[in-house]
Amino acid sequence: MQQKMNHIPRRRIEHRTFRSLEESPVTALLGARQVGKTTLARKIAVATSTVHYYDLERAADRAALSTPEIALSDLSGLIIIDEIQRIPLLFEVLRPLCDREPLPARFLVLGSASHDLVRGVSETLAGRVQFISMSGFRIDEIDPEEQTKLWVRGGFPRSFLASNSEVSDRWRESFIATFLERDLPQLGIRVSAEKLRRFWLMLAHYHGKILNTSELAASMGVSQKTIGHYLDILSGAYVVRILPSWFENIKKRQVKSPKIYIRDSGLLHHLLGITTIEILRSHPTYGASWEGFALEQVLALRGERWAFYWRTQRGAELDLMVVDRTQRYGFEFKCSDAPSMTKSMHISLEDLQLSGISVIYPGASKYKMHEKVTAIPLSMLPELASDTFTPHH
C-alpha cells in the first residue's frame, strides 16, 4: 500500500514546501496524523543533498536531541524534525540557530497538533517561519473519476487507497482508536478515550450546524468549559473544524456562534455508520456531508486563514466567505444536479458586497446562474486555485 501512495503525486504542496524552504529558515508542515507529512518530507529529503532526519516518535531520536543545542548547532543542509510537538521546547533552540549568518541549515518541522504548537512557534520564531497546512488527498491529486470515492472514504491515504470499502472502513476505525488511545495521551492529554469518542460521535451528528455548547454540555453531562476543552483537543489535532462566523454592522441581527465540521469526510461517514455512496444518498446528513467535503477542498486549495460563514437571525446564509486581500468571495455547496439561485444568494451578494459566488456542486458543467454567480463542478476547483482567484469569471 505504501508503494501505491508514493505513486500519487502531490505536486502543489510539494512545490509550496520547496519554495518555503528557500525563503524561510523554518518551514512548519502541519496536519492530522497519517495525512502524508512524513512521506512528503522523505521525498523532499531524497531530492536534497545534505539531510539530517529526526523522528521524535523514536526513542533513539528523542535521546539524540536531549541536548538540542549541541546536536543541531554543527549541522548543515536540511534538518527535518518529525512529530515536533513531542518536544515543543525545541523551538526556543531553533531561534538562535535561525539567526546565524551565513545560515548553514534550514529546518523542516512536521507537527500534528496545532493550537499550542502554532502559538508557541509564532511567538518564538516570528519572522523566521512559514506555516503550511497539509490535508489528506485532495481533488487536484486524484483521478476525476474517483471523486465519489474520495468523498465517501475521505482523504487519508490508507483509507482512500484501500483495496475495498470494508478495508477502508476498518482502517478508519483503527485510526480513531489509535488517535484516542495512544496519540492524544502522548501529548499529555488526560481525557478518557471513551468520553472523547462519544463527544466526537456527537459532533458528527452536529456536522455543518451552528455550534451550541450548552446543548452539547447537557447531552454529555459536563460543563460548557469542558466542552470547550474537548473542542480544543479535536480541532487542535486537525480532525474537527470550527468555522467562525462573519459579522459586521449592516443593520441586521447576525449569528455569531461558529459552525462545526468533521474535517475528513471519511471519518464523518465512519462515525455515522456510512460505508457506501448508496447508504450516504439515503442518509439525513447527505447534504451536510457534501457541504463539509466541498468546503475542505476549497480551503485546502485556497487557504483557511480568512475563511468564515455568514448567517442572519432571519435565515439568510452563506456557506463560506473567503477574504482575499480587498475582495470577498462567496461559496455555496449544493449537492444537486442543477443548483439555481436562492434568496440567500441575492441577500449575501448585496449585504456582504461580494465580488462573486461560486456554487460548488457534483455535476460536470460550469454555467452562469447570475451576473456574479456561477455553478462550478467540484472537479474544476483546481483550475480556480491561483493567486488571482476570481470565482465568478
Q: Is residue 393 part of a domain?
A: no
> What residues form DSSP beta bridges with 265?
none
Same domain as 188, residue 72: no
Instruction: Indicate the number of domains in the chain.
Output: 2
Q: What is the dihedral of CA 296, 302, 306, 310, to 10 degrees?
A: -50
Place of cell 535521546: 63
- Whichever domain contains 288, its CATH number is 1.10.10.10
User: Which of 107, 133, 159 is the C-terminal boundary of a domain?
Assistant: 133
Cα separation, 88 vs 292, whole angstroms: 31
Q: Is residue 389 part of a domain?
A: no
Same domain as 87, residue 155: no
Mean pLDDT of 93-100: 92
Same domain as 248, residue 102: no
pLDDT at 1 over 60: no
User: 31 near 133, Cβ under 8 Å?
Assistant: yes
pLDDT one-digit tens code per residue, 237-270: 999 999 999 988 777 889 899 999 999 999 999 9
Tell me what pLDDT residue 388 has.
35
Same domain as 197, residue 216: yes
Q: Is residue 342 part of a domain?
A: yes
User: Which of 76, 106, 133 is the C-terminal boundary of a domain?
Assistant: 133
Tell me what pLDDT residue 325 has.
82
Q: Minimal CA–CA distance to 291: which of 323, 259, 316, 313?
A: 259
**Helix ranges restricted to H, the chain:** 2-6, 11-23, 37-46, 59-64, 68-73, 90-98, 115-124, 147-153, 157-160, 165-178, 184-186, 193-206, 213-220, 224-236, 265-271, 277-281, 286-302, 343-351, 381-384
Domain region containing 203: 139-384
Residues with Cβ within 8 Å of residue 369, at least 6 apart in sequence: 339, 340, 341, 345, 359, 375
- In the predicted model, what is the mean pLDDT of the chain? 91
Same domain as 367, residue 278: yes
Q: Minimal CA–CA distance to 239: which of 179, 280, 187, 299?
A: 179
Q: Is residue 391 part of a domain?
A: no
Cα separation, 215 vs 40, whole angstroms: 41
Q: Is residue 392 part of a domain?
A: no
pLDDT at 4 over 50: no
pLDDT one-digit tens code per residue, 269-308: 999 999 999 999 999 999 999 999 999 999 998 888 899 9
